[in-house]
């Protein structure tokens, strides 16, 4: 049981750290990233705080999708088979699409001309959750053996 808890903790922390790095690396791809207020009324007006806020949301979704598959598989440390990995990746890409469409349509951000667009969404944010989620999953498995 302790091993599973350590794995999950490492996985969540990696999801947060990887997404924080990704968020900071992709800031130049945006024309604007507006200051906004969270549902709790806190104001985020620095790039650091916006990246941290976005990373927390990203880590939440990656963890939620992981736990959803754990419920379906009836195992908190589910098998890394093709079906589970595809389900994990596709679900995270769909969540990224929804979040990006909402951010773009609400005016929270816009892309610079540097961003390759696919399905009306920037390629980098489209693949972010799936890539960071998969890396976090594989690395946390190795670290918590």
Write the pLDDT tens digit of every residue in 34-84: 545 444 455 556 778 888 989 999 999 999 999 999 999 999 999 999 999
Spatial CB neighbours of 78, under 8 Å, sequence gap ≥ 6: 69, 70, 84
Q: What is the pLDDT of residue 39?
A: 45
Pair 129, 95: CB distance under 8 Å: yes
Domain count, the chain: 1
pLDDT band at 10 (very low <50, low <70, confident <90, very high): very high
CA distances (Å), origin 127, targets 39, 44, 46 = 26, 24, 24
Percent of the chain with pLDDT over 90: 64
Q: What is the pLDDT of residue 22?
A: 96
What is the pTM (predicted TM-score) of this model?
0.89
Q: What is the pLDDT of residue 45?
A: 62
Spatial CB neighbours of 22, under 8 Å, sequence gap ≥ 6: 124, 128, 131, 132
Rama region for 118: left / alpha / beta (φ>0; ψ in -120 to 50; rest): beta
CB-based burial label for 28 (10 Å; 0-12, 13-18, 19+):
exposed
Q: What is the mean pLDDT of residues 87-91?
A: 98
Q: What is the mean pLDDT of residues 106-114?
A: 87
Query: Domain range holding 45?
Result: 2-143
């Amino acid at each position: 049981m302790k091993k599973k808890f350590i794995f999950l903790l490492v996985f969540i922390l990696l999801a947060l750290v990887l997404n924080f790095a990704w968020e900071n690396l992709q800031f130049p791809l945006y024309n604007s990233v507006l200051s906004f207020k969270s549902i709790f009324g806190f104001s985020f007006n620095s790039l650091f705080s916006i990246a941290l806020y976005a990373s927390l949301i990203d880590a939440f979704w990656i963890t939620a999708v992981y736990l959803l598959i754990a419920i379906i598989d009836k195992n908190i440390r589910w098998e890394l088979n093709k079906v589970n990995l595809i389900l994990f990746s596709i679900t995270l890409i769909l969540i990224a699409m929804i979040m990006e469409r909402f951010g773009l349509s609400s005016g929270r951000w816009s892309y610079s001309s540097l961003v390759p667009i696919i399905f009306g969404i920037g390629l980098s944010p489209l693949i972010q959750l799936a890539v960071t989620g998969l890396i976090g999953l594989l690395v946390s498995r190795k670290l918590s053996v």
